[in-house]
Amino acid sequence: MGDVADIKPDSILDVKGLCCPMPVVKAKKAIDGLESGQIMEIVGTDAGSKGDIPAWAKRAGHEFIGSTEEDGGEVFHFFVKKG
Amino acid sequence: MADRLAIIASKGTLDMAYPPLILATTAAAMGMEAGIFFTFYGLNIVNKKKYHKLQVAPIANPAMPMPVPNIIGTLPGMTAMATKMMKGMMGKANLPTIPELISICAETDVKLWPCQMTMDVMSIAPEDLIDEADNTCGAGAFLDYAADASMSLFI
């Protein structure tokens, strides 16, 4: 996989402003609507998600591709490929 | 077999209602099975008349964000005031409410079991409880579930 910033997601989930447990709960709901192999981008502001989203993806059978940060670490973008 | 999380929720204050519900909803989202056994004061978390107005007490609670001397904490209205402050902070952080988390539990198949013995001791009828918690449970049934769990927590 090349640069994470070049990934074109099939869907984008906005969980900005939400805190634990909602980013993971909403990610699970949203990825249920995708096909296997499709990529979901999760955009959030919860710093705890940096650990939670990769752990969720691994446990739920998806592939965590990577993440980027912007606004000096205030906003996070996570990329997950549905398993 | 999927991983399984078995939780005993034994406390009925606002702050202690969150950990079991947050962990169980997260476990469900991660593809695990999750069940919560509500016993003693924990039963308030699934009590129709109480679960939307759980409180946090400042008395004997030095961990409050703004600690209140115990003698002040005994004054009428202090528990309501501490609860209001805590709910304000939770609202600011966009934390879901207890009823919202219960709805997520129901949607994601988290099992909510009220303790039959506690209901008998405290004279709580099945109709006093939320519809999501309709299967009462005893120690034996919970232990049978927990024996096959990879994680068991007492909260």
From the list B31, B93, B101, the residue facing A61 with the nearest CB is B31
ipTM of the complex: 0.85
At A26-58, the pLDDT tens digits run 999 999 999 999 999 999 999 999 999 999 999
Where are chain B's structural domains? 4-52+98-154, 56-96
Count the residues in chain A. 83
Say whether B26 and A24 touch across the interface (CB within 8 A). Answer: yes
User: Could you tell me if B92 lies within 8 Å of chain A, comparing CB atoms?
Assistant: no
- Order of strands, edge to edge, in the sheet holding B151-154? B111-114, B33-38, B4-9, B151-154
The domains of chain A, with CATH numbers, are: 7-81 (3.30.110.40)
pTM, to two decimals? 0.92
User: Could you tell me if A28 lies within 8 Å of chain B, comparing CB atoms?
Assistant: yes
At B52-78, the pLDDT tens digits run 999 999 999 999 888 889 999 999 999
Bridge partners (DSSP) of residue A77 are: A43, A68
What is the three-class DSSP state of A12?
strand
For B4-52+98-154, CATH number out of 3.40.1260.10, 3.40.640.10, 3.30.70.260, 3.20.20.70 equals: 3.40.1260.10
